Each structure stands twice: as structure tokens, then as C-alpha cells.
Amino acid sequence: MKRVGIIILNWNGKEHLATFLPSVVQYSGGNDVVVVDNNSSDDSVEFLKSNYPEIRLVHNTANGGFAKGYNEGLRQIQGDYEIYVLLNSDVEVTENWLEPILNKMSLDESIVACQPKILAYKSKSQFEHAGAAGGFIDKNGYPFCRGRIFNEIEQDLSQYDQEQEIFWATGACMFVKSQTFHELGGFDETYFAHMEEIDLCWRMKLHGHKIMAIPSSTVYHLGGGTLDYMSPKKVYLNFRNSLFTLFKNYRGRYLFFKIGFRFLLDYLAFFVFSIKGEFIAAAQILKAQAHFLAKISEMKQKRKELKEATKGIEFNASGLYKKSIVFTNFIKRKKHFSELDSRNFNK
């Protein structure tokens, strides 16, 4: 078994491959680069065969989205690598991006997943929306990051350059132990795309595992490479999948009260979108809630199975924000992660 495989999921992404693969190949340190193709209809596979014959190609028979695409691709190479580096096709890597994280994972066997610092490809002094300097979650299941709370993006002033245990690592560039990934069933394919990595990380935490942000490793993410952050489809997927994640993984009391409160907060988001005239996006929130309710029996079964699998295991709640990030951000007007009271986080 090899130590590391750098795994890139591709669907009709020739342009991204042409732009971003050179840095990956140059700075891969001799490790395998594997492209999992999600049944592309463009000529990206031919492009790879002609220009990068050294890259390992894995073929999926259909485009099942991010979650199913990675699951199917990784099953085909299961047992070949100790650590998967799941890397978006629109990420530029840097010279020293692998070593700090691989060294950290070697020194601490309790760490099963990590992420580097994620900066914006088009504005390299800014954090990038998808992951920034490490992911956290509030008591109502809303995710946020060091460097990004909702749509407020911070400049990188080295304020988050310390290594820190986090709640979730971004799927844009996730280092994950292959054994853990497969033991936990990989990504939930119901999600199709968006927030499946948060769900996976929450399951890891419920199994007592540790997840870290290692900012001495830096990559640059184009972002919105598949869907713009405010596209109606992405709004729908984020709101629906966030409800899935909370319902499946929340372990406190009064689950249905918690879900009801989330519905209320999402209705507030619906009204905010409507007031701004963003009616299509607003409608996606109601669609997301309806589809969540349609899937609730399936989610109950998954919740039951996860509860059985983690019985007797202490939940590693480090990175859980014990307050409401909605209230903190929109009412108390705290826009930056550094303004949050550290005493309100589980250690």
C-alpha cells in the first residue's frame, strides 16, 4: 500500500484540468495523482491521456455528483493508499503543501482528517469560502470557518496561522485516512453535492476522531467551479443538506425541537432573500425543507444506524460553537472569527 494518493474528481472539467493540474503534478512529490472521471462528455479524458499519461485514470459509469462520484471512484482503488488527498479540480497547490499535513498525521495517529489553509485563487490575499482556515459548526448546525462566517470573507493577515483542531475539513482539499473513510461508509450519496464533507466529519467526531487545520500548508481555490455560491441549485442543496446533517448527527436532547427551530431560522433566511428581491433563491429554501421532510424516514434509519455504531464512544465535540452563529453574526454584528469568544467553543 502506498502512503498517499492525490484524488481529483472530474466531470467535463478539461479547462480546470489544463489550468490547475500543472501545479499538482509539479508539487506532488512523486505521489500518485489519480483522476476519477464522472462519465464526462467533453474531451477531458482524451486531454489527460495525451498530456498526462502518468496520471492514473479511474472511470465511473455515470455522473452521480460529488458524493457518489468519490465513493465509486475510491472503491475502485480501495487498499492502494493509506491517505487520500481529495482535491477539487479547480485548486492550485503550492510547493510545500503535502509535507506539513502528512508529517502531522504521522505524529498523531488520532488525526484522521486535515485541511490546509484555503485562499482564493483570484484574490490570493483573501480566504476562500469553501473551508478558509478550518471549519466549525454552531449548536443549530450552521457551518462557518476561521476566515469566513456566512458570506463575510476575511483577508489573510496570518491571524489564523496556528494549527488547530477543527470540527470539519473542507472537501475542496481534504486529507483523510482511507481506512476511516471506508469504515464510515464514505460520503452520503443522498447529498449529491455540498456539505457531504461536513456530514462525514461529524460522523468522524461521533466516533471520537480528531480533525485538524494545518495552515503551514496553503492552496488556492477558484471556487464556484461547478456552481456559483449563490446559484439557486446551490442554495437548495446547502439548505437541504444542512438539515440532513443536523438530523442525522445531532446527539442532544429534543431533536425535533432543534429541527423546528432550524426551520424557523431558515424561514427568516427566506424572508431576507425575498426582501432583497432574490425570489428564486428564496423559493429554494422552501423546496429544500419539503425535500428534507420527504426523506425523513430514510434519515431516521441512518440516524439509528449511526447511533448504534457509536454506542459507548465519546463524542469529540472540539470545534462545536455552543452559541448561535446566526445571532452572533447578524444581531451582535460579529463578522470575523477572531471576534468570537473562545470560551464558547468546545475544546
Q: How far apart are CA 181 and CA 204, in angstroms?
A: 9
The arithmetic mean of pLDDT across residues 208-237, rounded, is 86
What is the pLDDT, as a whole number, of residue 252?
86
Q: In DSSP terms, which residues pair with 83 in a beta bridge?
A: 4, 177
Confidence of residue 231 (pLDDT cuts 50, 70, 90): confident
The arithmetic mean of pLDDT across residues 294-310, rounded, is 97
What's phi and psi for 155, nearest 5 deg? Answer: -75, 145
Q: Hunting for cell 464533507 — which residue is that?
A: 197
The arithmetic mean of pLDDT across residues 32-44, rounded, is 97
Query: Would you kindly state where each structural domain of the chain is located, as residue ranges?
Result: 2-221, 232-311
The closest of 57, 19, 68 to 225, measured between CA atoms, is 19
Q: How far apart are CA 154 and CA 191, in angstroms?
A: 28
In whole angstroms, how far apart are CA 189 and each of 40, 59, 197? 19, 18, 11
User: Can you identify the CATH homologous superfamily of domain 2-221?
Assistant: Spore Coat Polysaccharide Biosynthesis Protein SpsA; Chain A (3.90.550.10)
| Alpha helices, H only, the chain | 14-26, 44-51, 65-76, 99-107, 178-183, 196-206, 232-249, 255-275, 279-294, 296-309, 325-326
Calculate the CA 43 to chain-centre distance: 28
pLDDT tens figures, 44-99: 999 999 999 999 999 999 999 999 999 999 999 999 999 999 999 999 999 999 99
- Is residue 342 classed as helix, strand or coil in its secondary structure? helix
DSSP string, 283-299: HHHHHHHHHHHHTHHHH
Is residue 226's pLDDT more than 60?
no
Calculate the CA 235 to chain-centre distance: 15
Q: How far apart are CA 234 and CA 191, in angstroms?
A: 11
What's phi and psi for 157, nearest 5 deg? Answer: -115, 25
What is the pTM assigned to this prediction?
0.96
84 in Cβ contact with 176 (< 8 Å): yes
